[in-house]
Amino acid sequence: MKRNPKKIWFRRILRLLAILFLLLSLCGAAFLFYFAYLVLSIDDLPEAQQALTTRFFYDDGEVLAERYVENRYKIPLEEIPLAVQWGTIAIEDRHFRKHYGIDIGGICRALLRNLRERRIVQGGSTITQQLAKNLFLSPERTWKRKIEEAALTIHLERTYTKDEILEKYLNTIYYGHAAYGIEAAARTFFAKRAKELTLAESALLVGIPRGPRYYSPFYNEEAAFRRQALVLERMEEDGYITAKEKEKALAEPLKFRSLSEEEHGLYYLEYLVSEDLKRFHEGDTDQFYRSGLQIYTTLNREMQKAAEEVIANLPVQKTDESGVRQPQGALIALDPQSGEIKAMTGGRSFEETMLNRAVPPTRRSPGSAFKPFVYAAALENGLTADSRFSCEPLSIEDPWSGELYEPTDFGNHFHWRELTMREAIKVSCNVAAIKANLLIGPEKSVEMAKKLGIKSNIQPYASLPLGTFIVSLLEMTSAYAPFANGGIRAEPIFIKKIVSPNGEILFKNKTQKEQVLDPRIAYIMTDMLKDVFAPGGTAAAIRDLINRPTAAKTGTSDSYRNVYMVGYTPDLVIGLYIGNDDEQSLEVSSGSLAVPTWGEFYRAAVRGLPVQDFPRPQGLVDVSICPETGAVQSDHCTLEGYTEIFIEGTEPGTDCAEEGCPYVRPRFWWPWPPLWNRSRAE
């Protein structure tokens, strides 16, 4: 009997369909088993470690700078405006409150619309699915990843409430310009906190995540506002806002943050991260910037801006081969009592040159700004502010270097007379300083400099007072601080504390203090350094700016290569350096360049600070001195004397009469002719 071909093919098709059904059933069962296994095995999914923004603060708590790999801040849902929450749900996942993580209806609607438009115009992922992708999954597109995404989505829905999911989502979604999360977005686009956003601002931000670059108002303002209008329309449709509120939001003018806002403290921050905070990141700055730490610095906002301004505005003499304007400069201001750095800049512009001239390894000759350390050592070794040195040609063989040394004064001149230590400091006499150095021994001067804070390698040469070695500006500025602080040295500090993202204090700085100098010597040094601003002093040009007790010393290195000025009040030490990076001559002295620049910053820095005087310690005496002999002025001396300060016990032991002063009247002296007979004699 012949078989019917149609029946044969029909049976074959049935068998094939049965096999296919069986295979599909097995695949479906395997899929369901694998999916169920994934869901059930995720019992305790660890919190994803996401990069947070590391922030630096001024001493008043205002933000100095932010550093990040991903700009992100975690904030609770209570600090996220309802407009942001409602808008996100309306535009991203309208059925968020109803589904269990996967919206089958939404997927179908998105598929049909995309087919109708012949392009992808609508996604089917829910907020929970997007959160799963952002938190735990790689960006690859495979079936395995899709299954894992679905499993993670179900797990998130089982583990967290809808509000918790929404909070996590709004803290992780990307808004462009390295901003992750609504708080970073609010700061990036509007320079405000998320909780301060208006309805109009919220709607604009809510629309960005669909296309962070296309909908960025910085790149495409028109598209950003179209998207904002769509968000507001959806919010009205879903009953979150009224038509009147929508129209008001559409009419609201928005003010965006400028992307070109100037950053301050860049030299400071670079040094802080690379040196002072090294122990917190062990060289991995990328990981450090992910940490979300809050670093409270010692910088004063107004002083920092003033420091940057005066250095940026230095007169330009030339531009070097690298396009860097010369001369360059650096400025440091610190609190002598706490050691806190209040301002620091290492050049005209960080973008122009990253070389930080304020801190090691950059070192320059300080010139005569080093002399106070020599004179402090002299006071410690028995000399006084009234000790006298003749300023005249001097030719010596330096016993330490073995070279013949013939110092001159500024401009190769001499004073050709005796100068007291006070006078020598005022006019910055080189010969007097070298004689004082040789009298006590240069090793004593080196010892004093090290004690006060100089860490660089300096040698005990005869020329030591003229700063013929190199040190950093940070060293010089901090070494002057004990003069301002009663002989107490406070180690310089750059940060006050470091706080974790959770608010835990990880590190709190403590000022390290040490009494390194007799407070009486510190006071006498300060009193002598005040005279630098008096008529005839090296900084007399700015004496009209000095509106409170202030002491200072200028310095010009050999061949005018560098100019220095370090000065202080009881609550602020200011150090300034100016010079060419190639150390070619400036062809001007400190009085012409450093003094007016220092004065400009001083005027801005002390504005608003209380006027204080340097506290006078016990154990000092004021003595009237005869200018002719240097002895205590006799009651019968006809010269106009002056008052000098001495450490008790170091003042002159005799008066000028005993020293044979020719201007002392006889003890029993009568005018001649006698007063009662003067008319007759006339």
* CA separation for the pair 466, 78 (Å, rounded): 64
Site of tokens 């909780």: 195
Cβ(567)–Cβ(533) under 8 Å? no
Q: How many helices (H) and strands (E) does the chain have?
A: 22, 22
The phi, psi pair for 567, rounded to 5°, reads: -145, 170
User: SS3 of 639, please?
Assistant: coil
* CA separation for the pair 343, 354 (Å, rounded): 17
Select which of 291, 368, 387, 478 is catalytic: 368
Number of C-alpha atoms within 13 angstroms, CB side, residue 433?
A: 28
* CA separation for the pair 555, 502 (Å, rounded): 49
**Catalytic annotation on 62?**
no
Torsion of CA 417, 420, 425, 427, to 10 degrees: -30
Site of tokens 């506002």: 225
Q: What one-letter code names the amino acid at 405? A: Y
* CA separation for the pair 237, 230 (Å, rounded): 10
Cβ(266)–Cβ(349) under 8 Å? no
Q: Could you give the C-alpha distances from 552 to 252, 292, 427, 528, 532, in angstroms and in order?
A: 56, 42, 12, 9, 6
Check residue 664 and report its DSSP letter: B
Cβ(131)–Cβ(83) under 8 Å? no
The two three-digit tokens of residue 383, written as one number: 């000399």
Q: What angle do CA 535, 539, 545 make, to 5 degrees?
A: 85
Select which of 92, 183, 308, 644 is catalytic: 92
Count CB-CB contacts under 10 A for residue 243. 10
**Catalytic annotation on 478?**
no
Site of tokens 């919206």: 103
* CA separation for the pair 228, 138 (Å, rounded): 30
Catalytic residues: 92, 368
